[in-house]
Amino acid sequence: MPLPKAELHLHIEGTLEPELAFELAARNGVTLPYASTEELRRAYLFTDLQSFLDLYYGLMAVLRTEQDFADLADAYLARAAEQGVRHAEIFFDPQAHMARGVSMETVVGGLSRALATSEERFGISTLLIMCFLRDQSAESAMETLKAAEPYLNRITGVGLDSAEVGHPPAKFREVYEEAGRLGLRKVAHAGEEGPPAYITEALDVLKVERIDHGLTAMQDPAVVERLVRDQVPLTLCPLSNVRLRAIDILEEHPLREMMAAGLLCTVNSDDPSYFGGYVGDTFHAVQEALGLDHEALRTLARNSFRASFLEDDEERRAR
Ligand code: HPA
Ligand code: ZN
């Protein structure tokens, strides 16, 4: 039995497995620039975040209808259930779909249709977090927030993803202020490839409640001290860090040092189809590579519920 856990850093578009991509391509009459699933998998050799994002956005061309988004979410939930996931806070990237003529209604409608029955079918409670693409303008993010207003009963929070370096959090100050006025929770990717100053800025300017990644915090003791003092959760994604070359090998991941420093660490899969494992696989991989004992794994699992946006009593029931 895998440890019960919550997954807090998971891009639904990053769960698109090559087999489903080809199935959806056939269904929608989309031609992929790969002859087979094997050829597509062979393209998963990334040199940095941008090289991954180019493929990730490209492959989204197969996602067109509400049914496609429902099928994508169903496939993730089935996998996640096998990996011990009891609660998932799921990112989606509406701007990447709206730019292709796929409406907010199609995206949110399809995802939320699958999520609505997730508890009965898979024993997984879910929340949706809408991400803004930080390499697009603040105006575009604000328009996206406006487009989401009719669906806010199905969206719990906002996040910030895509190419980090050169796109500091402060660019999105007004958007996050507006999200706060609308009652949305706030998270942001920071310190994946970007400097530790971006982590501080996400906290001070965007008022986020969690930092997605936060890996580069370790470069600045003052940032670590702040994160420890305020017990700001970090949603680390160790397999992603290796695949996107933020670190060379998993054995060199600073997770152990981060936990020892008192940081509130969680372990997540990010884009499991592309990075070689779902969240249970990720727990297993860090256990092996870093020699974590069972107590450390239990701490990580406990942290995942503690860092989640579940209400306290729901949180207790999930465990
Ligand atoms: N980092 C930033 N943006 C992303 C990622 C990531 O790992 N995955 C999907 N969008
Ligand atoms: Zn991410």
Mutate to test the pocket of ligand 1, among 44, 52, 97, 237 (most ligand atoms within 8 A of CB): 52
**Per-residue pLDDT reduced to its tens digit, 21-77:** 999 999 999 999 999 999 999 999 999 999 999 999 999 999 999 999 999 999 999
189 is in an annotated binding site: yes
CB 270 near ligand 1, within 6 Å: yes
* Ligand 1 contact, 271 CB (< 6 A): yes
Give distance in angstroms: CA of 93 to centre of ligand 2: 11
Give the ipTM of the model, two decimals please. 0.97
pLDDT band of residue 150 (cuts 50, 70, 90) is very high
- Alpha carbon of 238 to ligand 1 centroid (Å): 13
What are the strands of the beta sheet with 5-11, ordered from one edge? 5-11, 85-92, 125-133, 157-161, 185-190, 210-213, 233-236, 264-267
Residue 315 has pLDDT above 80, yes or no: no
Q: Count the residues in the chain.
A: 319
Query: Which ligand places an atom closest to the C-alpha of 9?
Result: 2
What domains does the chain contain, in order, with CATH numbers? 5-308 (3.20.20.140)
Neighbouring CB atoms inside 10 A of 147's CB total 17
CB atoms within 10 A of CB 267: 28
220 is in an annotated binding site: no
Which residues, including other chains, have CB under 8 Å from residue 128's CB and lie 6 or more apart? 89, 90, 92, 108, 111, 112, 115, 154, 155, 156
Query: What is the Cα–Cα distance from 120 to 227, expressed in whole angstroms?
Result: 37
* Minimal-distance CA residue to ligand 1 atom 5: 162
Residues 216-261 have pLDDT tens digits of 999 999 999 999 999 999 999 999 999 999 999 999 999 999 999 9
Q: Which ligand is nearest to the CA of 59?
A: 1
Does 87 belong to an annotated binding site? no
Residue 1 confidence (pLDDT)? 82
